[in-house]
Amino acid sequence: MNSEIAPSPATRSWREIPQPVKPRAMSSGGRWRLVMAGVRSLALVLFIAGCGWGVWLIVGALHEDPRRRPAEAKAVPMRPPELKTMRDGVLDHAWLARTLELPPRVSLLELDLDQLSARVLADQQVLTVAMRKIFPDRLEVQITERTPVARVHVAMGDTPRDLLVARDGVVFFGTGFDPLMVRSLPWLEGITLEQDGARFQPIPHMADVARILAEAQFSAPHLYHQWHSVSLARMELDREVEVTLKTGTKARFSAKGNIFVQLAHLDDIVERLGRNSGARARIDLTLGREVPVTLETASADPRSVPLIGGGVHASPLFPRSSSKTKREL
Amino acid sequence: MSSRTTYIGAVEIGTSKITVLVGEYTGRELAIIGHGECSSRGVIKGTVVDYKAASESTHSALEQAERDAGERIDGVFLAQTGGHLEGFYNEASVNVKASDNMIEPGDVRTVCDLAKSKELPSGRMVVHNIRRPFRVDGRLVPGNPENLVGQRLEVGYWTVHGQEQRLADNIHVIRGFNLEVRELVLASLASGHMITTPEERQHGVLAIDIGAGTTDYVLYRDGAPHTTGVVPVGGTHLTNDLSIGLRLTEGQAEKLKLRFGRADVRAKDRTQKVWLDGNFAIGDRQFPQMAIEQITSARAWELLEVVRRKLGSAFSPETCASGVVLSGGTAKLAGLADVAARVFGVPAHLGEAPTWVRENMRDPGYHTALGLLYYGVSSQAEKAGPARRGGGFLTGMKRLFAST
């Protein structure tokens, strides 16, 4: 037993024998392996250095200052941007040039497409934009425009202006539209526009209004041309739209009901009213087959329509057999 | 060991031949994928005496093995033998520190450090520290004694040490091929692990590896190596004796030894003769068979007697119930197992590689190289911690050996 002895540091293991040997003590095979090991180490170092250099180049390219781009890249001036509008767009090259504000003799490499896209989309008339660089000198701009379905009169400061409203409720200035087409659009009433910076917030429920207007424009164009304004005052609560005709007659549509049937009723009533030499009336088309009509002129012939109630005339004017089909309209 | 695949070379620089095996080790499994062999030069009795010649033959075997494997070796397990290797036993004991007498890791560490701390003579270096089982209050504990209760913890180490210059020479031969030596493994431990089973080691077994220049032995008791040793006598001495006794060249003597040598004398007739070559060509001569057998048997007896004497009191038939297992090229000498049984007084047999070793690796001459891989990898795996998956290391090795 020697439990009293302290661990001796003098006990040496074979692992303390230094393993490196001089190349002259190596065989040719050993020297070859040594060289190959060196080559492999060097290749590894070069590979790591190459990877590092590549990363540095990529990072540098991501943060590159456009002013430091080579002169060759800047030497190719860009042609005027090529505009492609979807469907029947009205925006033209002049508008695009004004909007993009490209400096003269700018090269394609210097363009920041995100920034230019934002500049184009700042005009609310533009729904979507896609830009593509076609080297060496072409910029292709593809846009989709909003189509107006109504117009609205806005007092912007001291200057009143007429703005257009798209089917998604977006209000925009409207550039390049045919004035005749613009004048044919009905006015919107009964709404309050809320300003959001330089633009207005979209008008709610415009999709329903646009559906009524589109149905009228397609199915009964002679009626649509008589429409002066459309009021959205009852839209929020009752889902109802009140249309004022140029004759002063007001017709109330239900957005929930069948628009075509409501138009057919209106067509018939307006035709009858026309025979009464310009009588004005309030027509409620929201009740389905029952269509109360309230005449507002005293000169109207009370016999022309059945009377219901006291001083106000109201009558279901459409017996079942007399309803018109779309083809007849 | 990391989980990535490493290619390990097992190198045995023997007196007659140099053997290299390449193992593909995945961290869990080992497969032999390459083999190289070259006749040895510059090595006498397991010791490098001519650095250049030994390097050339070793590197040639390494190149051959790498070509055979198709892979580059990452590191080497190197077998150690030679007369310069010696061993001694040192033990230590400590009183368990904890008040409840429960053994803590600190107690185990302290007693192990104490048992290994014996100072070596100048110029000597430790090759192996082989731990024997712990004892707690005199009670044998085969495993880890942590958390057992006792007052006194004892442990002993069988320390194998060798001469620094000779160890360095062996390492530098490998380094001359620009390969790292990862582990030095005693040749007797390597072959012993290959030819004995855990049950035999538990019951006590003596494994003797008789090579060309040296005889390595290891005595197992209680499942662990108890005593190791090297006798610088081997098969070449039998050849030498024949050469001197019958006045032959070494080549002729070697031929006679392989064909007619025996560890015991079976020839009854003194006049019975054998031909040297047997082709009746010019120079072919006759020799008395009894003389050949007497010469080889005398040296074989002597060799085993030396081993018996060197083991001394460590060996007794009672503590070596599984007998003697022989391996190495010279172990193929006819009748050697019978002689060993008579010398040691226990059953003896020629060791065989486990059944999962493929056929061309089953020769006793490969036991050491195979054991090198097996012992070296398993000892490193033990250092790295327990295996994560079931099945065990040995199972994986068996499967892979069988499939290659």
CA dist B373 and B96 (Å) reads 38
> CATH code at B268?
3.90.640.10
In whole angstroms, how far apart are CA B298 and each of A61, B269, B288, B339? Answer: 87, 18, 16, 11
The arithmetic mean of pLDDT across residues B230-236, rounded, is: 91
Model ipTM value:
0.76
Spatial separation of the C-alpha atoms in residues B149 and B284, rounded to whole Å: 74
The three-state secondary structure class of A74 is helix
Residue of B nearest to A34 (CA): B178
More confident: B339 or A193? B339
What percentage of chain B carries pLDDT values higher than 70?
93
In a domain, B367, yes or no: no
Distance CA A235, CA A209 (A): 9
Higher pLDDT, A25 or A237: A237
How much is the pLDDT for A53?
A: 95
Q: Can you tell me the distance from the alpha carbon of B215 to that of B353, in angstroms, rounded to the nearest whole number?
A: 19
Residue A51 tokens read as 């990877």
d(CA B253, CA A59): 78
Picking from A2, A7, A19, the nearest residue to B113 by CB comes out as A7
| Any domain includes B8 | no
Domains of chain A: 71-145 (3.10.20.310), 148-328 (no CATH)
Give which of A4, A8, A17 to mutate to test B binding, by max B Cβ within 10 Å: A17
Which residues from A are below 8 Å from B90, CB to CB? 2
Minimum-distance CB partner of A34 among B119, B120, B178? B178
CA-based nearest residue in chain A for residue B80: A14
Q: What is the mean pLDDT of residues A267-278?
A: 81
Work out the mean pLDDT of chain B and round it to a whole number. Answer: 87
Residue of chain A nearest B114, judged by CA positions: A7
The strand pairing partners of B139, in sequence order, are B136
Locate B226 and state its tokens. 């108890």
Last residue of a domain, one of B118, B140, B161: B161
List the domain range (segments joined by +) for residue B277: 235-300
Output the pLDDT for position A1.
37
Structure-token pair, residue B19? 């053997």
Which residues of chain A are within 8 Å of residue B184 when distances are taken between CB atoms? 14
> How far is it, in rounded angstroms, from Cα B289 to Cα B268?
9
Amino acid identity of residue B161, one-letter, is H
**pLDDT classification of A312: cutoffs 50, 70, 90:** very low
State whether B63 and A30 contact (CB < 8 Å).
no
Given A1, A20, A25, which is nearest B92 (Cβ)?
A1
Reported pTM: 0.58
Q: For tokens 């048997």, name the residue.
A: B297
Q: Does A2 touch chain B (CB under 8 A)?
A: yes
Checking if the pLDDT of A313 tops 70, the result is: no
- Between A173-187, A288-302, B47-61, the lowest mean confidence (pLDDT) is in A288-302
pLDDT tops 80 at residue A5:
no
Q: Which residue in A170, A168, A163, A149 sits closest to A227, CA to CA?
A: A149
pLDDT, average across residues B19-32: 86
Q: Tell me the mean pLDDT in the region B361-374.
A: 86
- The yes-or-no verdict on residue A8 having pLDDT over 50 is no
Selecting from A8, A29, A31 the residue whose C-beta is nearest the C-beta of B117 gives: A8
Number of helical H runs and strand E runs in chain A: 9, 14
Facing residue for A7 by CB, picked from B56, B114, B168 = B114
Nearest to A8 among B72, B119, B176 (CB): B119
Residue B65 lies in a domain: no
Residues of chain B contacting residue A29, judged by C-beta atoms under 8 Å apart: 59, 62-63, 177
| pLDDT level of residue A90 (50, 70, 90 thresholds) | confident
Among B110, B128, B161, residue at a domain's last position: B161
The token pair that represents B125 in the structure block: 């270096």
Within a domain: B250: yes
Q: Tokens 């505009």 identify what position?
A: A83
Q: What is the pLDDT of residue B160?
A: 92
**Mean pLDDT on A246-273:** 90
Q: Determine what percent of chain A is predicted with pLDDT higher than 70.
A: 80
Whether residue B290 is contained in a domain is answered as yes
DSSP state of B365: G
Closest residue of chain B to A17, computed from CA coordinates: B168
Q: Per the CB < 8 Å rule, is B118 touching A8?
A: yes
Residue B268 is assigned to a structural domain of this protein:
yes
Burial group, residue A264, by CB count within 10 angstroms (0-12, 13-18, 19+): buried
Predicted confidence at residue B156, as pLDDT, reads 92
Condensed to tens digits (0 to 9), the pLDDT of residues B151-199 reads 999 999 999 999 999 999 999 999 988 898 998 999 999 999 889 999 9
Which of B161, B185, B218 finishes a domain?
B161
Q: What is the DSSP string of A105-167?
A: T-BGGG--HHHHHHHHHTSTTEEEEEEEEETTTEEEEEEEE--EEEEEEEEETTEEEEEEEET
The shortest CB-CB distance from B116 to any of A11, A19, A33 is to A11
CA distance B42 to B146: 49
**Which residues of chain B have a Cβ shorter than 8 Å from any chain A Cβ?**
51, 55-56, 59, 62-63, 72, 90-94, 111, 113-114, 116-120, 124-127, 162, 164, 167-168, 171-172, 175-181, 184
How far does A39 lie from chain B, in Å, by closest CA? Answer: 14
User: How many helices and strands (H and E) does chain B possess?
Assistant: 11, 19
Interface check for A26 against chain B (CB to CB < 8 A): the answer is yes
Cβ contact (<8 Å) for B114 and A29? Answer: no
Other C-beta atoms lying within 10 Å of the C-beta of residue B82? 24
How many domains does the structure of chain B reveal?
2
Q: How many degrees, rounded to 5, is the angle at CA A237 between CA A232 and CA A240?
A: 45
Mean pLDDT of A187-200: 86
Domain of B143, CATH number, reads 3.30.1490.110
Give which of B154, B174, B185 is closest to B378, Cα–Cα. Answer: B185
B126 falls within a domain: yes
Instruction: Using pLDDT thresholds of 50, 70 and 90, give the confidence band for residue A325.
Output: very low
Condensed to tens digits (0 to 9), the pLDDT of residues A256-265 reads 889 999 999 9
Question: What pLDDT score does A117 carry?
Answer: 92
pLDDT in tens, B295-320: 999 999 999 999 999 999 999 999 89
Confidence band for B382, pLDDT divided at 50, 70 and 90: low
The shortest C-alpha distance from B395 to chain A (Å) reads 31
Q: What is the pLDDT of residues A213-242, one digit of tens each?
A: 999 989 899 989 999 999 999 998 889 999
Collect all residues of chain A within an 8 Å Cβ-Cβ radius of residue B179. 33
Q: Is residue B327 part of a domain?
A: no
